[in-house]
Amino acid sequence: MARMKACMAAVLVLEKEGVTQAFGVPGAAINPFYAALRERGSVAHVLARHVEAASHMAEGYTRARAGNIGVCIGTSGPAGTDMITGLYSAGADSIPILCITGQAPRARMHKEDFQAVDIESIAKPVTKWAVTVREPAQVPRAFQQAFHLMRSGRPGPVLVDLPLDVQLAEIEFDIDTYEPLPVYKPAATRKQVEKALDMLAAAEKPLVVAGGGIINADASELLVEFAELTGVPVIPTLMGWGSIPDDHPLMAGMCGLQTSHRYGNATMLASDFVLGIGNRWANRHTGSVDVYTKGRTFVHVDIEPTQIGRVFMPDFGIVSDAKAALELFVQVARERRAAGRLRDYGEWANRCAERKRLMLRKSHFDDVPIKPMRVYEEMNAAFPRDTTYVTTIGLSQIAGAQFLHVYGPRRWINCGQAGPLGWTIPAALGVVAADPTRTVVGLSGDYDFQFLIEELAVGAQFRLPYVHVLVNNSYLGLIRQAQRGFSMDYCVQLAFENENMPEEDGEVRGYGVDHPTVVRGLGCKALRVTDPDRIRPALVEAQALARKHRVPVVVEVILEKVTNIAMGTEIDNVMEFEAVDCRHPEGRAGLELAGLLG
């Protein structure tokens, strides 16, 4: 046993649990913890410019690599409340992050002390556990419990709040005998998997819906192996995108109202059986339950028992970690294949592949101002196969999901359920901090970009290079498109005549903020593109600049101000505002005749 301050015990536990990186902002009530961090020197620290951004950095860090747990740190009061959005975002997408906050001394917590707030109560609805540690001797075990809860069952965030006098109190603690608590993950049984495969074998047109739980469980290789063993096509959700490469013959496209492919929706509507693994039937994926489920049998595998039946009642449910389930699915499928008991789905898979080949949206536009579709076409050409894309919400995210290509797990890092504006820059910085050798590309509309633009200075200070593609239409584009249903275009315009922009920039002055000037002022590099033929060269140049200068490089593409992106109210009623690239020789009539639209 050794005598030490409770804040030092907390830092020693972080080390034992594998933490090597943290993001945060120091302050008076958390300074003892920072003093212990400095004394140990084992945990690197990135100083955020906004505490909410620190929480998004932590989330990006976790998502970047299997086994990571991002840590964000702040002082008492507004630091904790600023991080609530990050905790909500992480919890909604089953991402473990640890939020550590300082607190007023225990005797002052109920006396409206400066920056004293009941952060434990505020954070409880958006975390797996939130606790204010009131006894110094409980500090190391509170952190031990935090890591156990973050990793067990459905992953998620935890907040640990440390009063100032608790951090400073001395306790007895033996770090040499400390061990992390065993992680609990439910596992499917052989009997359950046998039944699910029997149900699949009775189907004519089966699909696997691959959710983000497969990414979280690091089970993408097992998913691909299972698909190849059975010959069943895969529909990834937005959170599961990359679990099977986009160019794999059995990758059948994404389904949904917005972030979907025409061929993905058509294939879902043509199917008669769906095996969902690690997904939550999010409404942007399903649309209404009636349309989504009609004529189909469902098996749902999820790590969280209360998730099964939450959106609709499946025909069969299995509570299991995605990796544990897929290991058993692969094992049983191998046995059935060896015994000649697997059905041949070659014809069905070929028809899914034909939809994928023919039912495309047009991306090559030469218009000036630039149409957004062209940007994603050029991104596909300019960035390498192993690029990691980071984005959050808006028309940029929706169009990106419709047109970009993703070829592996953790190569599409997207805030799914919460979708807070401003998430992209700090999350991308967190991804780069986790793996500085990775090609990372942020994707933002101008409003998301402006929310936490100051965090670019963090990238410059800590040498966190990545390329940020800023598609600027000087609009809250998604809200503007949604307002069409109310026959208005109200309070969503970001454009103004920027008097400080040089006259030679012409019409760009009417787009408002001079982003490249702001970006350079924050210590980063910036390029602006107004000609569609210049997009690809600019993206190539940006990668070279990022490698050379080791800072974020922003490529601003000036778009036409109003472009409606394909979306709809049901998966069978998605409106295509722009021309589609229908490659079947007889056009839409030929697709219908071939049965590819249903």
Helices 346-358/262-270 angle, 10° precision: 150
Residue 13 CB-half CA count within 13 A: 24
Question: Pick from 448, 429, 446: which is nearest to 388 by CA?
Answer: 429
35 burial type by CB count under 10 A (0-12 exposed, 13-18 middle, 19+ buried) = middle
Q: Name the CA dihedral angle for 108, 113, 115, 120, rounded to a multiple of 10 degrees.
A: 40
Residues designated catalytic: 25, 51, 421, 476, 479
**How far, in Å, CA of 251 to CA of 272, rounded?**
17
Sheet with 467-472, edge to edge strand ranges: 412-414, 388-391, 440-445, 467-472, 553-558, 525-529
User: 3-state SS string over 137-156?
Assistant: HHHHHHHHHHHHHHHCCCCC
**CB proximity list for 355: less than 8 A, separation 6 or greater:** 252, 253, 262, 263, 266, 267, 596
Token duo for residue 309: 């039946």
Tokens 């189909």 -> residue? 296
Q: Please give the full DSSP string across 419-479, using - where no structure is assigned.
A: --TT-HHHHHHHHHHH-TTS-EEEEEEHHHHHHTGGGHHHHHHTT---EEEEEE-SB-HHH
Strand runs (DSSP E) across 295-452, as ranges? 297-302, 316-319, 359-361, 388-391, 412-414, 440-445
Q: What H or E segment, with its residue span, contains residue 59?
A: helix 51-64
